[in-house]
Structure 1
Amino acid sequence: MHRRIIVPGVLASATLLLAIPASAASPSPGAPGIGDPYYPAYGNGGYDVSHYDLRLRYRPATDELEGTATLLARTTQDLSRFNLDFLLDVSEVRVDGAKASFTASGEHELEITPKRALPEGADVTVVVRYRGVPSSKEAYGFTGWHRTPDGGVAAGEPEAAWWWFPSNDHPLDKATYDVSVQVPDGTQAVSNGTLRSTDSRAGWTRWNWRSDKPQATYLATLAIGRFDITTGTTESGVPVLNAYSEDLGADAGAARASVERTGEVADWLTEYFGPYPYDALGGYVPNTDTGYALETQTRPFYSPRQFANGSNVSVVVHELAHQWYGNLVSVAGWKDIWINEGFARYAQWLWSEHEGEGTAQELADHVYASRPADDPFWTVRPGDPGPENQFHGAVYDRGALALQALRNEVGDEAFFTVLKGWPRKYAHGNATVADFRRYAEEVSGEPLAALFDTWLYQASKPEGPAARAVSGAAKAPAGSAEAPVPPKSWKEIAATNGVHDDGHRH
């Protein structure tokens, strides 16, 4: 026990202090990370962003980007200082209209100290003016900005925002967006959501985009270059806007033959996942040398290499499935990545069934039997793969096996009720693998802890009854090394196995 003796001379000031809440008397800095164990420095503590307003100007010839970002946020503690994740050169920061001091720290942190401490629960407006050459900036040894012959592209997971706008860069802090980009006439600027307007003057054109549903920062995208833009609507009435770089060369036809089926695929996915959750849809294919695709919200990014061997509708299925699994319901932490990738891969298996090119069960049989027990593939645990294996093939394929095991365990009626109900239950929010297990148990009425442990958390190939529950291939004679003949769809699905390779470089 500690006792404080107050002398009469300071009694009046002590009484005054007691009238002030203790927290208000001692504001502290917001944490430099949001608390994700995979990426301790990603995101920030002390506030939640509700809206980003980004007004940008970009010169393709020099890769110079200048902008003014306005963030609307609410404090979650008494703040003396707070961080944003950002890399470009900042010239001015204002907090609630007043100039604030700022400094760069760490690999990608912008530390901001407002003139006055910010009380918990306050609505705060932060304005950041900045400029720089995104392709010249690196953090952790890589750049998330992809230079193209006619511009640049921001699309990456788990990080891309740092190279073009200051943010609270973690899926836990979703926000709405207005993105307004001024580029030279003849150049297009493509982003998420709905194209609200374009206007031209004095040799420059401004493209104004709006995303009015919550969106994680890594799902925000910007592509600037010379694009051929197509528009239309899905059968259900959702506007579709696709964009193709004018210099895709030999990949142009296959890219269009795939991405132009976006509306058809999205309508088909509603049968499994429920209504499409956004008011815009599309995809874009810039002339990048990357090899991956990414589910950037409403408008997925596809590299030309996805179509180097011909059309690939399966990758379109994968990225559109993420609009529900990954975008509408986002991970609570990056260890929950199975909620994104296992389901997007399983959607490809369902598309294979739809196309008559192999059932999900046949694909499960092939995946299970083609990987011997000593294959390192089985040491990756999709339910918590570690940052080094976050986008390992096992998260996709073993992750899909887990869903086939669940389907076989609870039956089609309960399984597809779960697939459709889950996005509705956690719409525009975040969830964990444990949340999904509990929801599946609630819907099916069955205990599922052992099944989830076997398929998502054990670092070994499931054998015996557990294997028979998922794979007919497990019934092959003991010692048989012969795998089932791959279903017709396997080659196309396998072509997306590295769908995020190079998108994540840690």
Structure 2
Amino acid sequence: MSRSVVLGPVAVLLVCVLVGCDGGVEGVAGSSGVRDPYFPKAGNGGYDVTHYGLTLDYEPRTRRLVGKAEIRARAEKDLSAFNLDLKGMDVRSVEVGGEPARFNRSGDHELTVRPREDLGGGDSFVAVVRYEGVPEVVTDPDGSEEGWLPTEDGALGLGEPTGSMAWFPGNHHPGDKASYDIVVDVPEGLEVVSVGELREKTVDGGRAVFDWRVSEPVASYVVTVAVGEFEVRRSVAGRLPVYVAVDPEEAEAGAEVLDRIPEVMEWAQDNFGPYPFSSTGAIVEREDDAGYALETQNRPVFPGAPGVELLVHELVHQWYGNSVTPKSWRDMWLNEGFATYAEWLWDEDHGGDSVQDVFDALYEGDYFEEEAESDGVWAFPPARPPDAARISDSPVYERGAMVLHKVRRTVGDEVFFDILRGWAAGRRHGNADTDDFTAFVEKAAPDEDFSGIWDDWLYGEGRPRSP
């Protein structure tokens, strides 16, 4: 049995919105957030960014930033609207495909863009956002600060995990990596240091313009811009350009360690395979300019002159974290466990404690001076931080590294270092999660049983019953 139905005007309008009055399928709005387990509103669905062109004009005296972001992307489905992450700042205009687009702001950081014409799935498009204001400092769930941090002589942009949205609009989740052009205009006398390579510096009319480019994919949380007074040193590590920028107050203290970058890079390539990027280096700010070091791509940021172990940690992140990037913030141990293990390997190879000695001291509670720190290693499984405030806690670092050592003891050194190099090579410039890594290890050593390591050390609660 069938019935004829007469639709009222409201119902007709609804049908037109959903399926199109011409019988075609209309685009839908891309999602706000990619449902990351710890930062569900970070990132956006429906499109993939391939390139950011950022043009920034910064005045340190007033802390005012004027920006233009040219975002090249590909629609992953038919889109009538899409979202960008931008916290604070005043948006002056948005264009898509050279045509003015409607936009509105909602929530803490959502910029919703409605192009004049729907975007078809698979179509490439260019969105241009013009914006200005005083960028915000973002406080993480763990209490640390990121975003656009004002310094005594300029500013420092730090992004982990969500701070980059404070100074440019984008798809701010590690699952969407892109190349970058970053052009920054500042008062003459200041330097600007960023990711990639410096293409050009021009000075005119009391202003200096720095043009940086990184061609390899970058997750937005490891993009940086550092504005200030720096002593710049250029050298090479083999054939790899080394660009180091040091605040003059830290130049003397940092010289000895920073001169070891070529040595560290040679050691790291021996252990982890070819370096995945086209330059390296470091940015050393004053101690009070940031509360932590960060593995910003190509040249990590340090608050004050680093020790050699910290230098090793942040440079090895270029392989594990920057090139092989986590699919979600739940997988942070794939960054920090690997970089922490690299510190232990460096010490083992340079006359310090063996990795086994460090592992035993952690297991017995003798590694840290404070009992609370020793107990903290077992607070939760490294692959399951309880919330966003804990993704940088000790289990992610030390216990994550202990997981790797358990793998090493199971398979032996030859296979283990093949795993480290193969993981970095096979996932180069991509994203991966914990399941990807455990599957990779099992494939590399198919005759071994890793279930106890995964169950007790990677996912298990508390201290395993035996080391």
| TM-score using structure 1 length | 0.84
Q: Residue 51 of structure 1 aligns with which residue?
A: 51
The equivalent position to 1:242 in structure 2, one of 244, 267, 273, is 244
Q: Distance in 2 between matches of 1:337 and 1:19?
A: 43
Separation in structure 1 between the aligned mates of residue 324 and residue 4 of structure 2, nearest angstrom:
55
The match for 1:90 is: 91
Shift of 1:257: 2.2
The residue correspondences of 1:7-86 to structure 2 (distance < 5 A) are: 25-86=25-86
Please give the alpha-carbon distance, in whole angstroms, between the structure 2 residues aligned to 1:101 and 1:342: 44
Kindly indicate whether the alpha-carbon contact (under 8 Å) linking 2:146 and 2:157 is maintained by their aligned counterparts in 1: no
Offset, 1:21: 10
Task: Give the Å deviation of 1:37.
Answer: 1.5
In the alignment, the residues of structure 1 paired with residue 3 and residue 79 of structure 2 have an alpha-carbon distance, to the nearest angstrom, of: 28
Q: 1:361 to 1:59 in 2, by over 3 A?
A: same
1:303 aligns with 2:303: yes
Q: Deviations over 1:291-336 (max 9, x none)?
A: 21111010101111xx4xxx51100100011100011110011111
Greater alpha carbon shift after TM alignment, 110-119 vs 124-133: 110-119
Aligned ranges 1:186-205 → 2 under 5 Å? 186-205=189-208
Match of 1:165 in 2: 168
Q: Distance in 1 between matches of 2:202 and 2:121?
A: 41
Matched, 1:99 2:94: no
SS state at 2:181 partner: strand
Alpha-carbon spacing, 1:136–1:40, altered in 2? closer, same or farther (3 Å): closer
Question: What is the aligned counterpart of 2:341 among 324, 346, 362?
Answer: 346
Structure 2 residue identity aligned to 1:81 = A
**C-alpha contact 1:85 1:166 (8 A) present in aligned 2:** yes
1:58-99 superposed Cα distances (whole Å, 9 cap, x missing partner): 111111111111000000111111111112211000010111
The question of whether the paired residues in 1 share the 8 Å contact of 2:137 and 2:166 is answered with no
Q: Which residue of 2 aligns with 1:463?
A: 465
- 1:275 maps to what in 2? 274
2:232 aligned residue (218, 229, 235): 229
Q: Aligned partners of 1:431 and 1:327: how far apart in 2? A: 11
Gaps (5+ residues) in structure 1? Answer: 8-13, 468-506
Q: What SS does the aligned partner of 2:249 have?
A: coil
Q: Is the 8 A contact 1:82 1:111 kept in 2?
A: yes
8 Å CA contact retained: 1:85, 1:110? yes
TM-score, reference length from structure 2: 0.91
Q: CA RMSD in A?
A: 2.3
Is 1:424 equivalent to 2:425 in the alignment?
yes
Distance 1:143 1:253 in 2: 27
Seq. identity, %? 42
Q: 2:359 aligns with which of 364, 374, 382?
A: 364
Match of 2:10 in 1: none
Contact kept in structure 1, 2:146 and 2:159, CA below 8 Å: no
Q: Tell me: CA distance 1:422–1:6, structure 2 relative to 1, closer, same or farther (3 Å).
A: same
- What is the deviation of 1:20? 9.8
2:216 match: 213
Query: What residue in structure 1 maps to residue 413 of structure 2?
Result: 412
Letter in 2 for 1:105: S
Question: CA deviation digits over 1:180-230, x for unaligned, max 9?
Answer: 111111111110001111111111111011100000000110000111100
Verify: 1:147 aligned to 2:150, yes or no.
yes
State yes or no: 1:178 paired with 2:177: no
Q: Does structure 1 retain, via aligned residues, the 8 Å contact 2:365–2:375?
A: no
Kindly tell me the number of residue pairs found equivalent between the two proteins. Answer: 446
Partner of 1:253: 252
C-alpha distance in structure 2 between counterparts of 1:181 and 1:169, whole Å: 20
Runs of 4+ in 1 over 3 A off after TM superposition: 2-7, 17-22, 135-143, 371-374
The answer to whether the Cα contact below 8 Å between 2:153 and 2:227 also exists between their aligned partners in 1 is yes
In structure 1, how many angstroms separate the alpha carbons of the residues matched to 2:349 and 2:137?
45
How many Å separate the matches in 2 of 1:18 and 1:191? Answer: 46
1:400 aligns to what? 401
